[in-house]
Structure 1
Amino acid sequence: MSSVGSHGAGSHGAGGHHAANGRRVIVWRHGQTPWNVAGRFQGQTDIDLDEVGEAQAESSARLLAALNPDRIVASDLTRARKTGEALGRLTGLPVTLDERLRETNAGRWQGLTFAEINEQFPEESAAWTTGDVEVVPGGGESRLDVAARVCASVQEHLASVPDDGLLVLATHGGAARVAITSMLGLPHGSWSVLSGLANCNWSMLEEMGPDKAARGLRWRLAEHNAGSLPEPVVVEEG
């Protein structure tokens, strides 16, 4: 892991949103890339943002900066790193790079269009499409593998976040989806009920306290696929 950017104030201030109790985690997908447009499975291929993706990163970073994050961690792949850096420039926070936040290693699938994957790997692709968490696309890694490494990263970086603080993770669509479902404790067979994130959209999870049975933290989903509105999404019951 490494850090880029300059140090600055990340404390909660005027205009920031506060959680009543506990820490929050924002899982943020990178901006658009040429392979997103072409419908190619990127996996861990290091594809850069296109012009639209760069603009998306700048726009969503302005919304996230208003939440006054305390720590920013990004996948070391260029598209996620540049997305995280857009927020780092606005907040003055360093961006810590962590390869555990990379997208799924999809082996032989990487670089192929989804039509090509369906044609060349029909059974494997069908299982993947239905949300099978154990299928290994292209001989790479399963959704369970990805969830384990991303959640380990979250746990480590949360240790340096204040009790009411905000951790922002700049990552990838597949990695984001499996991390969120795993953190929420959803049964493996139901992971497909959660939609994927659009480019540069995010989800926010709020800490609910320890789960003694699971010997870990409990989380609730406060926002999902947010970012397309002109202001940060804040919903209160009542």
Structure 2
Amino acid sequence: MNQPTDILIIRHGQTAWNKLKRLQGHSDIPLNEEGRLQAVTLAEILRHEPLDAIFSSDLQRAYQTAYEIAKSHNLPVHTDKSLRERCYGICEGMLAEEIKKAYPKSYEAWYAADPDHFFPDGERKTESPRQFHYRALEAIRNVASRHCGERVAIITHFGVLETAYRAAQNIPLGTRCKMPVLNTSINRFRWRDGRLELLAWGEASHLEEARKPPVDYYKHF
């Protein structure tokens, strides 16, 4: 029997679109000033926590966050496209009210948690919640299987965290899944015997510290 893998799944720092509540998806939006400060503070909090590997979505908001943690652990960041957020097609960059006005049927399906609904395609082809769920869960499984008996960090997005939470809590697709997912919050899971277990959710005390920049903060950027 393989040893369990402990996994810290962490949402990226804040972006300008996060602040405005615009849907991001695969749109490659960088961290804003607050997000960069959150990433530096998060790295400091995790400095003394043993990590064997660091994985990240290839989108820059996740990579920029992961990079700060990797520097403090002298580890590389392994990027993985399968750890991206769900693709929302033409609705990326829009506010919820704009989606409601322009695509009312998609808006209704979105808030009804229809697992097989697709937003209209845009620059990129969209994914249904069901497709995304299995893609994200498989990405987590791949990381866990490569690091049996170790502790790893995955820096990713809201949707991937929702997938992990849903899987660990046995919440079926097609139902609303309500839980806070703050930028740079730390969420602890264990992969054991082919499934996720939730150990701790939403560690975010460091976000208060992020309001007080470290003395050498501006040396980072």
| Band of TM-score, shorter chain | 0.7 to 0.9
Which protein, 1 or 2, shows the higher relative CO under an 8 Å CA cutoff with sep ≥ 6?
Answer: 2
1:147 paired with 2:129, answer no
Pick from 197, 201, 207: which aligns with 2:185? 201
Which string of whole-angstrom CA distances, capped at 9 and with x for unpartnered residues, describes residues 158-188 of structure 1? 233241x212111111222123313544322
Q: Tell me the distance in 1 between the aligned counterparts of 2:79 and 2:206.
A: 28
Equivalences for 1:1-238 in 2 at 5 Å?
A: 22-139=4-121, 140-163=126-149, 165-190=150-175, 192-207=176-191, 209-210=192-193, 217-228=194-205
Q: Tell me the distance in 2 between the aligned counterparts of 1:230 and 1:74.
A: 20
Q: Tell me the distance in 2 between the aligned counterparts of 1:141 and 1:46.
A: 17
Partners of 1:25 and 1:206 within 8 A in 2: yes
Paired residue type of 2:7: V
Offset of residue 219 of structure 1: 2.5
Offset of residue 31 of structure 1: 0.5
The change in CA–CA distance for 1:64 and 1:142 in structure 2 (over 3 A counts) is farther
RMSD: 2.0
1:214 match = none
SS in structure 2 opposite 1:41? coil
TM-score by length of 2: 0.83
Q: Tell me the distance in 1 between the aligned counterparts of 2:96 and 2:140.
A: 30
The change in CA–CA distance for 1:155 and 1:185 in structure 2 (over 3 A counts) is same
Which string of whole-angstrom CA distances, capped at 9 and with x for unpartnered residues, describes residues 39-89 of structure 1? 211111110000100001111222233321111110111100001101000
Paired residue type of 1:169: I
Q: Tell me the distance in 2 between the aligned counterparts of 1:228 and 1:138.
A: 39
- Unaligned 5+ runs, structure 1: 1-20, 211-216, 232-238
2:214 match = none
Partners of 2:86 and 2:132 within 8 A in 1: yes
Paired residue type of 1:205: F
Partners of 2:13 and 2:184 within 8 A in 1: yes
Offset of residue 196 of structure 1: 4.2
Paired residue type of 1:198: L
Partners of 1:184 and 1:218 within 8 A in 2: no
Q: Tell me the distance in 2 between the aligned counterparts of 1:66 and 1:127.
A: 44
Q: Tell me the distance in 2 between the aligned counterparts of 1:104 and 1:94.
A: 25
Aligned length, in residue pairs: 202
TM-score by length of 1: 0.78
Q: Tell me the distance in 2 between the aligned counterparts of 1:219 and 1:151.
A: 9
Paired residue type of 2:130: L
Q: Which runs of 4+ in 1 moved over 3 A?
A: none
2:219 match = none
Q: Tell me the distance in 2 between the aligned counterparts of 1:184 and 1:167.
A: 21
